[in-house]
């Protein structure tokens, strides 16, 4: 069952009924001002940091789930009938409801009793504000007297404090209303130099800024007293809960359409120019007024919207493909790339499942996310890499997270997740291959943000690599520390106290438990670092890295192979995890994927066998589960993984982030059919037809799909902010379609399904546009390359020597 459809041409997903199984959301903003908007106009906004600069209030885990947001009420002033064109929370009968989620904007509208209303929400580029472009039409035969009420609830900035510290917060709310603009200035009198404002382009009949006056003390958002009576109270908030609501009255003739602009913004003043007059407590509005005035002019708003579209088209057009599979095309060309930009902007901080107050940017997450967005925003990827590296510890280890506002390592979570440092090598490798910007390696970067500790970025990579060699266990495999990629495999935790953090509690010394996964990651990192060294004047070191990698590969073969698949780990007692000897958790997905990604076993059949075991024991129609059999109870020595009921999250859920590792492994093993089959099982577009089972948005990946041990097998959870986005993008574009930035040029090595006759792609790479046509001539993956009509050896297209910027590439697969 479906709740909408893809409008591929407009790069939109169109939701055709408001009662989706979960809120289906979109992101507004891509620089500093951000918003989340659901298909029923729920959600909130913030400036840079979802915890510390929350502009509007939102209550997570609400009932109903999605309540509160960017509301516009329409009232028929003749009958008193009122509704929200976006449906929540009045649930009025609507005709022709549609929500179009597009690239950085959402348009939500409907019709009721001959009145059509629709709002386009977006954040213009380079501005700290959001626009609600509201259009109202009278499709009746008679004139319509209507009222329109906007409504938002302001957050008192620190979202954590806002939802806990009521004894203080109920007394500090403050606003100003000037020329119909509502200014929210709580705490401005003391240390804040920022405020929010909410403006309307139409002449006002009234306004409200005190929530309980607007709603009435005993009512909710579904029955505001002001809307019901058809007249604002002109309330001025003092304490309690400041809101912003404008009231506009209008009469529309039959066939007439009117547009009203509502604009919500964030503004900062210099510390010493906060007030006007200076000795007063009145917000200085000198610099904000021109901004407000500008965006209340429809022509400017239309122009800003066109700019936004052009911006997104520019990003997406860097890589466009035409394949025989529509689900592949729309994910690669639009939605998966778009989601990668969301993970770049948000990391794991703010979605409808991440409250925006919990986590900073993850070291391993952000490095992996690079794989999905580096081609779109290389300069910003560069900055991200340098920020991440600056939090690295002198030991080569890493803070697990850093805070986006301070850009400093997060002491609460600390380090000792022993996979973390290697992801920096992976991230930097991806950046270098995309851009060829070798200068980044010479960039001086601090350790632990300590001035004076600057070393070239290259030195950071060396220390990342050393970190593991300094921390080997009894089998010479890498010690796992608090956890490796699997945050929930906590082999040194041994926690029996409720509420303790599995990630930061360490009750064992950590000198025994080892990770085969990190072994695989190390082998991959060794090859990457060797390649980086060879290309950057450190060629003498390359052999050393390769030797260490080869040595680790030997160790993985000797101590990390279980007969039919790769082992997962050794626990604190030196016992195997993920082995046929185990009663539960016999086989895990991560080492199968990652050891093969590192090239282990591709030559001698181990990879094939591991992949067969994955197919036999882990694959389901909804994706590949994390391990089998699921843990049926809590095991002190395994940690959080065994805390989840079977089939969810890391306990045998389909943890979508690691499915692409197997997809890539299949592609590397030459099995394009298998790779694309797995790809399709979790491809959200391919799952659109079962939206009633999947329940999350069909246009973006979710972190998890419930595994076969769960009663809700096939149900997705935690959409949007997940490493799944980057890894799937990487898997489909670089390994199945095989269009792969390499150090020396653009490599083209597809592993497509046998039934595909070929595909086309346009890829902009290092200033050159490559028009690529792949044609299947045989059943294999052997590549014959023609570059501008000339046969070329190998599978790498080098930059044209003569400075041409258009290159035609013909690929024959034999
Ligand atoms: C979450 C974390 C990520 C971790 C994964 C597996 O997605 O953000 O860092 O690797 O879970 O536990
Ligand atoms: C929790 C989640 C896990 C996530 C981790 C990181 O343990 O279950 O998926 O990776 O938190 O913060």
What is the whole-number distance in angstroms between the Cα of residue 804 and the centre of ligand 2?
48
Atom 6 in ligand 2: which residue has the minimum CA distance?
Answer: 487
d(CA 450, CA 544): 30
What is the whole-number distance in angstroms between the Cα of residue 712 and the centre of ligand 2?
20
SS3 content of the chain, % helix, strand, coil (to 5): 30, 25, 45
What is the whole-number distance in angstroms between the Cα of residue 486 and the centre of ligand 2?
8
Catalytic position from the list 487, 562, 709, 795: 487
What is the whole-number distance in angstroms between the Cα of residue 202 and the centre of ligand 2?
47
Q: Is the CB of 482 under 6 A from ligand 2?
A: no
Q: Contact 599/562 with Cβ under 8 angstroms?
A: no
The atom number, within ligand 2, closest to the CA of 359 reads 12
371-389 pLDDT, tens digit per residue, is 999 999 999 999 999 999 9
For residue 729, the model assigns a pLDDT of: 98
Atom 10 in ligand 2: which residue has the minimum CA distance?
Answer: 487
d(CA 215, CA 201): 23
The atom number, within ligand 2, closest to the CA of 348 reads 12
d(CA 79, CA 563): 76
Most informative mutation of 351, 487, 651, 656 for ligand 2 (most atoms within 8 A of CB): 487
Atom 3 in ligand 2: which residue has the minimum CA distance?
Answer: 487
Q: 3-class DSSP state for residue 499?
A: coil
What residues of the chain score a pLDDT lower than 50? Answer: none
Q: How many Cβ atoms are within 10 Å of 79's Cβ, its own excluded?
A: 9
The atom number, within ligand 1, closest to the CA of 362 reads 9
Non-local (6+) Cβ contacts of 805 within 8 A are 767, 768, 769
For residue 768, the model assigns a pLDDT of: 98
Q: Contact 201/136 with Cβ under 8 angstroms?
A: no
What is the whole-number distance in angstroms between the Cα of residue 209 and the centre of ligand 2?
39
Atom 10 in ligand 1: which residue has the minimum CA distance?
Answer: 485
Q: How many Cβ atoms are within 10 Å of 670's Cβ, its own excluded?
A: 14
The atom number, within ligand 2, closest to the CA of 486 reads 10
Q: How many Cβ atoms are within 10 Å of 614's Cβ, its own excluded?
A: 24
What is the whole-number distance in angstroms between the Cα of residue 487 and the centre of ligand 2?
6
- The tokens describing 629, both together, are 């059999």
pTM of the model: 0.97
The atom number, within ligand 2, closest to the CA of 502 reads 7
What is the whole-number distance in angstroms between the Cα of residue 638 and the centre of ligand 2?
14
Q: Count Cβ neighbours within 10 Å for each residue of 309-318 and write b for 16 or more, e otherwise.
A: beebeebbeb
For residue 358, the model assigns a pLDDT of: 81
Classify residue 673 by its DSSP letter.
Answer: H
329 an active-site residue? Answer: no
Q: Is the CB of 158 under 6 A from ligand 2?
A: no
Pocket of ligand 1 (CB under 6 A): 348, 362, 364-365, 485-488, 650, 657, 703, 722-723
3-state secondary structure 551-569: HHHHHHHHHCECCCCECCE
For residue 764, the model assigns a pLDDT of: 98
Q: Which ligand is nearest to the CA of 703?
A: 1
Q: Count Cβ neighbours within 10 Å for each residue of 265-298 and write b for 16 or more, e otherwise.
A: bbbebeeeebeeeeeeebbbbeebbebbeebbee
The atom number, within ligand 1, closest to the CA of 487 reads 12
Most informative mutation of 503, 505, 645, 647 for ligand 2 (most atoms within 8 A of CB): 503
Q: How many Cβ atoms are within 10 Å of 689's Cβ, its own excluded?
A: 12
Q: Which ligand is nearest to the CA of 655?
A: 1
What is the whole-number distance in angstroms between the Cα of residue 161 and the centre of ligand 1?
27
Q: Render 595-617 in DSSP notation, one character per residue.
A: HHHTTTTTTTSHHHHHHHHIIII
Beta strand 806-813 pairing with 768-776: parallel
Q: Contact 348/359 with Cβ under 8 angstroms?
A: yes
Q: 3-class DSSP state for residue 627?
A: strand
What is the whole-number distance in angstroms between the Cα of residue 689 and the centre of ligand 2?
30
Q: Which ligand is nearest to the CA of 626?
A: 1
- The tokens describing 435, both together, are 């851009």
Most informative mutation of 365, 410, 661 for ligand 1 (most atoms within 8 A of CB): 365
Q: Which ligand is nearest to the CA of 365?
A: 1
């Amino acid at each position: 069952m479906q709740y909408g459809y893809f409008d591929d041409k407009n790069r939109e997903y169109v939701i055709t009924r408001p009662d989706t199984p979960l809120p289906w959301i979109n992101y507004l903003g891509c620089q500093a001002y951000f918003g989340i908007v659901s298909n029923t106009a729920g959600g909130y906004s913030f400036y840079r940091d979802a915890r510390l600069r929350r502009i509007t209030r939102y209550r997570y885990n609400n009932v109903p789930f999605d309540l509160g947001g960017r509301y516009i009420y329409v009232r028929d002033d003749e009958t008193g009938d009122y509704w929200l064109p976006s449906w929540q929370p009045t649930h009025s009968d609507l005709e022709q409801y549609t929500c179009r989620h597009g690239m950085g904007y959402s348009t939500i509208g409907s019709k009721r009793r001959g009145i059509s209303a629709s709002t386009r929400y977006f954040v213009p580029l380079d501005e700290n504000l959001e626009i609600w472009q509201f259009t109202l039409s009278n499709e009746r035969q008679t004139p319509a007297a209507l009222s329109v009420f906007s409504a938002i609830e302001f957050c008192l900035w620190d979202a954590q404090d806002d939802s806990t510290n009521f004894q203080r917060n109920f007394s500090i709310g403050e606003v100003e209303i000037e020329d119909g603009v509502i200014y929210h200035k709580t705490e401005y009198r003391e240390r804040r130099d920022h405020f929010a404002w909410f403006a309307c382009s139409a002449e006002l009949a009234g306004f409200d800024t005190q929530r309980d006056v607007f709603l009435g003390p005993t009512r909710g958002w579904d029955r505001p007293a002001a809307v019901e009576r058809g007249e604002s109270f002109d309330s001025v908030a003092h304490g309690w809960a400041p809101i912003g609501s404008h009231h506009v009255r209008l009469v529309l003739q039959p066939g007439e359409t009117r547009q009203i602009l509502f604009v919500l913004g964030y503004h900062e003043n210099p510390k010493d120019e906060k007030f006007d007059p200076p000795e007063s407590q009145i917000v200085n509005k000198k610099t904000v007024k021109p901004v407000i005035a500008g965006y209340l002019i429809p022509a400017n708003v239309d122009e800003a919207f066109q700019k936004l579209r052009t911006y997104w088209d520019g990003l997406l057009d860097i890589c466009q493909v035409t394949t025989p599979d529509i689900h592949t095309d729309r994910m690669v060309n639009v939605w998966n790339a778009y989601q990668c930009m969301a993970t770049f902007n948000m990391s794991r901080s703010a979605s409808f499942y991440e409250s925006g107050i919990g986590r900073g940017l993850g070291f391993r997450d952000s490095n992996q996310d690079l794989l999905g967005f580096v081609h779109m925003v290389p300069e910003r990827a560069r900055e991200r890499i340098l920020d991440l590296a600056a939090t690295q510890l002198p030991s080569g280890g890493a803070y697990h997270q850093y805070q986006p506002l301070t850009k400093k390592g997060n002491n609460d979570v600390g380090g000792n997740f022993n996979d973390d440092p290697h992801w920096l090598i992976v991230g930097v490798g991806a950046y270098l291959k995309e851009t060829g910007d070798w200068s980044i390696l010479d960039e001086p970067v601090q350790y632990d943000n300590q001035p004076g500790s600057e070393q070239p970025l290259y030195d950071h990579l060396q220390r990342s690599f050393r970190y593991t060699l300094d921390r080997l266990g009894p089998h010479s495999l890498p010690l796992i520390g608090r956890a490796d990629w699997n945050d929930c495999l906590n082999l040194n935790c041994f926690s029996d106290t409720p509420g303790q953090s599995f990630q930061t509690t360490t009750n064992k010394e950590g000198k025994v438990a080892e990770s085969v996964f990190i072994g695989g990651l190390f082998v991959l990192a060794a090859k990457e670092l060797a390649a980086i060294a060879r290309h950057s004047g450190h060629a003498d070191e390359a052999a050393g890295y390769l030797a260490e990698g080869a040595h680790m590969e030997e160790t993985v073969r000797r101590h990390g192979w279980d007969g039919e698949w790769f082992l997962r780990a050794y626990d604190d007692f030196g016992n195997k995890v993920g082995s046929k000897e185990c009663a539960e958790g016999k086989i895990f997905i991560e080492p199968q994927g990652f050891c093969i990604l590192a090239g282990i076993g591709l030559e001698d059949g181990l990879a094939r066998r591991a992949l067969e075991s994955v197919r036999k024991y882990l694959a389901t129609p909804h994706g590949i589960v994390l391990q089998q059999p699921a843990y049926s109870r809590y095991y002190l020595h395994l940690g959080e993984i065994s805390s989840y009921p079977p089939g969810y999250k890391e306990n045998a859920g389909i943890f979508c982030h690691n499915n692409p590792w197997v997809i890539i492994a299949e592609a590397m093993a030459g099995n394009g059919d298998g790779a694309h089959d797995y790809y399709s099982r979790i491809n959200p577009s391919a799952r659109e037809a079962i939206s009633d089972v999947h329940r999350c948005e069909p246009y973006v990946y979710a972190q998890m799909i419930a595994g076969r041990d769960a009663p809700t097998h096939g149900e997705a959870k935690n959409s949007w902010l997940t490493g799944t986005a980057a890894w799937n993008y990487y898997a489909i574009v670089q390994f199945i379609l095989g269009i792969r930035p390499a150090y020396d040029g653009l490599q083209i090595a597809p592993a497509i399904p046998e039934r595909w006759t070929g595909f086309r792609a346009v890829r902009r790479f290092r200033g050159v546009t490559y028009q690529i046509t792949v044609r299947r001539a045989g059943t294999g993956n052997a590549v014959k390359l023609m570059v501008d009509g000339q046969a070329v050896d190998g599978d790498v297209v080098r930059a044209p020597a003569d400075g041409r910027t258009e290159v035609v590439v013909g690929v024959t697969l034999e």
